[in-house]
Amino acid sequence: MSGCVFCQIVAGEVPAFRVADEPDGMAFLDTRPVFKGHVLVVPRAHLVTLTDLPAIDLPGYFGLVQRLAAAVESGLGAGGTFVAMNNRVSQSVPHLHTHVVPRTRGDGLRGFFWPRTRYADDAEAASYAGRVAAALR
């Protein structure tokens, strides 16, 4: 869809630190991560909310989300993950996306107040993307 930054990332028109690029979806680092290694998973087609995702596509899309949750944990040495999705309200980009956020005990995340951080530079972001991609099964 014209003007959708996630569609532009899927099409290769906007750069992103890609973690996975598969028929069921694409995953890349969030540019404003809650914690470093925070991944966004999007379907390749422009869909706005979870209810727009055809039922036939649920296993493939959520299978990718599930594999990424495992990859974030093992690839980054995280204690767990926070997996979340907004539908319209608080959805900063109107394209279905699932957040996979690495967690560690005592990381300071409280409820839905998400502090944001930045990568030091592109090399650090590429390193995080590479570690998660390498751990993807």
Catalytic residue among 38, 46, 95, 97: 97
User: Catalytic residue at 95?
Assistant: no
Q: How many Å separate Cα 53 from the centre of its chain?
A: 17
Q: Tokens 């109107």, residue?
A: 94
Residues 58, 9: Cα–Cα separation, whole Å: 21
CB 124 within 8 A of CB 38: no
Q: What is the DSSP letter of 13?
A: S
Q: Tokens 């991560």, residue?
A: 33
Q: Tokens 């409820």, residue?
A: 111
Question: Across the strands, what pairs with 41?
Answer: 27, 98
State the CB neighbour count (10 A cutoff) for residue 115: 10
Query: Annotated active-site positions, please?
Result: 97
